[in-house]
């Protein structure tokens, strides 16, 4: 620590301008002992702000474009403030979570050795091992469960594509597509962390943009409005009944080809009345699921060249995705109204544009799964002692996890229920509760750390001590307004009238508290608790009510097919 202090003091004596001194000083204070870490990582790849933003967009994927519009439309005008509110909170908690890692590197430089599971490392630094274990479990379950809807939607899209192209003559169940996609996905999963996936992230973002533009064009070209309400059953989750009908051979019940022409009415069925609470809860769960990047956020940050800019990467990524999703939602609401299907692609007319969109969506979901699951893969590999370099053990571990996801997808094809449970139940703590909690605690730890630095500085010469305190005050002024309540309470001056000073003191406290992050953190935590418990209650009882639709005939159908082949 004395070396850092001496470097700082020598630098301030160097005669540079005051502005340069402040910037360089903050870099020294907030990146202590980083030289040893950089030397260990020399030659490795890092993410720029641009590629970090691409990784964020890739994590969102195409779900906000093709699966979010219906949820917002069913909420009417109330869906707009709901989306803005939830996304704003997610941006805020993502930014403060990134700040936590920057502060953690300053307080405990050796924490960079835990860069494969940074969220759990912050939890351990702030609240100990037990909190770290809890965060690890939440992360692993959320990341693993979040990959299952990707596989399900991709496989169901391919089934839909085959049926639409051949007008129902080609029927290949998503049960088999799911296995094929799992096999094809394994080589992509063998890649390392996001810094090794720049090409994948770039391709994925290009695909997302192409899907959005092609979807807009298809909606514009849809002159014959078609009521695909029967198709909506497929996307909303009753896929087990559909597949069962098709496998039994009920060719006359081909739901993909049922098209009921209705009269075109702009904004059809939309109302200004408040929507049912169930619609709002469903929309909240889906929004939380589709815009949840917190499990992978820190993994991206530790791979960045400039870790302090993670907040900008998050903002750029969310703004880009929200723009694409908002345009799609407005067009779908105008053209289809409440008849918009859960998957917008099902509402689109049969065309080669639609076929291309389905293929691109399937490709993007596969690429997004590769990037989004890397945090889970890295943690499991550390548990079993696998090398951080490419190895046969890595391939085996990741292939087994993909196989497990495929197996669960065969059992539970209701991706809407999976999405709701993960979005409403598991991501609530990771998004709205834990980041503000960690941030408040680590700010207190940082304040104590600075106080210790100041006390150690008294052992130096008086001139050096005065200079170092001046440096500390400049650094603290930069973060003013972002600390705990105790940091913003001024002292009372009793030299004048006591009542007048007490009133000024009280007003100053109220103003500083409202300006600080502490009050906002408390509000976010309370919202997270209420939203998590409410969504969990709804999703559990919704799952119980639809328990007979949870189980898939896939395993049974595959078993029967194997038995029939063996009897030939």
Domain boundary assignment for the chain: 31-447+517-567
**End-to-end Cα spacing for the chain:** 78
Lookup: tokens for 352: 């080669």
Could you tell me what percent of the chain has a pLDDT over 70? Answer: 65
The pLDDT value given to residue 330: 94
On the question of pLDDT at 210 being above 60, the answer is: yes
Decide yes or no: CATH 1.20.1740.10 for domain 31-447+517-567: yes
pLDDT band per the 50, 70, 90 thresholds, residue 417: low
On the question of pLDDT at 41 being above 60, the answer is: no
The pLDDT value given to residue 58: 84
Task: Name every residue whose Cβ is closer than 8 Å to that of residue 233 and which is 6 or more positions away in sequence.
Answer: 241, 242, 255
Lookup: tokens for 494: 């009793």
Q: Please name the residue ranges forming H helices in 13-117.
A: 18-30, 34-40, 49-60, 63-66, 69-74, 79-107
Please give the biggest Cα pair distance in the chain: 102
Distance CA 205, CA 298 (A): 20
Distance CA 295, CA 275 (A): 31
H or E, element range at 566: helix 554-567
- Are the beta carbons of 91 and 318 closer than 8 angstroms? yes
SS3 166: coil
H or E, element range at 505: helix 498-515
The pLDDT value given to residue 360: 92
Distance CA 51, CA 59 (A): 12
H or E, element range at 226: strand 226-227
H or E, element range at 227: strand 226-227
Query: What is the mean pLDDT of the segment spanning 197-219?
Result: 88
Mean pLDDT rounded to a whole number for the chain: 74
pTM for the structure as a whole: 0.73
pLDDT band per the 50, 70, 90 thresholds, residue 509: low
pLDDT band per the 50, 70, 90 thresholds, residue 97: very high
On the question of pLDDT at 242 being above 50, the answer is: no
pLDDT band per the 50, 70, 90 thresholds, residue 239: very low
**Number of other CB atoms surrounding residue 46 within 10 Å:** 14
The pLDDT value given to residue 144: 85
CA dihedral sign, ordered 241, 246, 251, 256? positive
Distance CA 145, CA 133 (A): 18
The pLDDT value given to residue 254: 40
Lookup: tokens for 347: 């509402």
Please write the tens of the pLDDT for every residue from 516-562.
667 788 888 898 888 888 877 776 776 666 655 555 557 666 556 56
Give the residue, 13 or 411, on which the prediction is more confident. 411
Distance CA 60, CA 53 (A): 11
Cα dihedral 462, 466, 471, 474, rounded to 10, equals 170
Sole residue written with tokens 């169930």: 278
- Are the beta carbons of 231 and 80 closer than 8 angstroms? no
Distance CA 339, CA 74 (A): 9
The pLDDT value given to residue 499: 58
On the question of pLDDT at 346 being above 60, the answer is: yes
- Are the beta carbons of 227 and 260 closer than 8 angstroms? yes
Distance CA 350, CA 353 (A): 8
Task: Name every residue whose Cβ is closer than 8 Å to that of residue 262 and which is 6 or more positions away in sequence.
Answer: 225, 226, 227, 339
């Amino acid at each position: 620590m004395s070396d850092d202090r001496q470097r700082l003091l020598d630098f301030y004596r160097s005669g540079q301008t005051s502005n340069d001194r402040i910037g360089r000083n903050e870099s020294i204070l907030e990146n202590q002992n980083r030289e040893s870490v950089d030397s260990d990582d020399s030659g490795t790849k890092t993410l720029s702000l641009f590629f970090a933003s691409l990784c964020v967009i890739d994590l969102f994927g195409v779900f906000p474009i093709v699966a979010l519009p219906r949820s917002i439309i069913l909420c009417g005008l109330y869906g707009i403030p709901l989306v803005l509110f939830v996304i704003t909170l997610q941006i805020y908690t993502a930014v403060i979570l990134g700040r936590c890692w920057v502060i953690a590197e300053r307080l405990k430089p050796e924490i960079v050795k835990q860069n494969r599971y940074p969220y759990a490392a912050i939890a351990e630094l702030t609240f100990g091992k037990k909190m770290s274990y809890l965060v690890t479990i939440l992360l692993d379950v959320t990341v693993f469960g979040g990959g299952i809807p990707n596989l399900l939607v991709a496989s169901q899209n391919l089934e839909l594509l085959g049926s639409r192209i051949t007008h129902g003559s080609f029927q290949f169940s998503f049960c088999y597509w799911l296995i094929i996609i799992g096999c094809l996905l394994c080589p992509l999963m063998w890649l390392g962390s996001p810094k090794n996936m720049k090409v994948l992230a770039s391709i994925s973002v290009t695909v997302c943009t192409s899907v959005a533009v092609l979807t807009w064009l298809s909606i514009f070209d849809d002159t014959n409005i078609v009521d695909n309400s029967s198709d909506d059953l497929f996307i909303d989750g009753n896929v087990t009944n559909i597949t069962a009908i098709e496998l039994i051979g009920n060719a006359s019940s081909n739901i993909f080809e049922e098209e009921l022409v209705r009269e075109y009415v702009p904004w059809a069925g939309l109302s200004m009345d408040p929507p049912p609470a169930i619609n709002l809860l469903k929309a909240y769960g889906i929004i939380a699921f589709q815009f949840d990047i917190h499990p992978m956020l820190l993994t991206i940050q530790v791979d960045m060249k400039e870790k302090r800019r993670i907040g900008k990467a998050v903002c750029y990524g969310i703004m880009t995705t929200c723009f694409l999703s908002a345009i799609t939602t407005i067009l779908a609401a105008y053209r289809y109204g409440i008849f918009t299907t859960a998957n917008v692609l099902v509402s689109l007319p049969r065309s080669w544009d639609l076929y291309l969109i389905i293929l691109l969506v399937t490709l993007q979901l596969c690429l997004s799964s590769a990037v989004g699951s890397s945090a889970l893969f890295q943690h499991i590999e550390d548990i079993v002692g696998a090398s951080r370099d490419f190895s046969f053990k890595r391939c085996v571990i990741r292939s087994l996890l993909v196989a497990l996801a495929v197996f669960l997808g065969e059992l539970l094809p209701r991706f809407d229920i999976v999405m709701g449970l993960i979005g409403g139940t598991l991501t609530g703590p990771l998004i709205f509760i834990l980041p503000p909690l960690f941030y408040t605690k680590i700010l207190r730890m940082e304040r104590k750390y600075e106080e210790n630095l100041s006390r150690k500085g008294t052992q130096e010469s008086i001139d050096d001590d005065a200079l170092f305190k001046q440096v500390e005050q400049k650094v603290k002024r930069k973060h003013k307004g972002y600390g705990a309540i105790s940091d913003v309470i001024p002292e009372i001056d009793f030299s004048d009238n006591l009542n007048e000073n007490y009133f000024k003191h009280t007003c100053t406290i109220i103003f500083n508290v409202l300006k600080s992050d502490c009050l906002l953190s408390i509000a976010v935590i309370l919202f997270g608790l209420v939203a998590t418990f409410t969504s969990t209650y709804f999703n559990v009882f919704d799952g119980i009510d639809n328990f007979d639709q949870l189980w898939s005939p896939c395993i049974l159908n595959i078993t029967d097919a194997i038995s029939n082949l063996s009897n030939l």
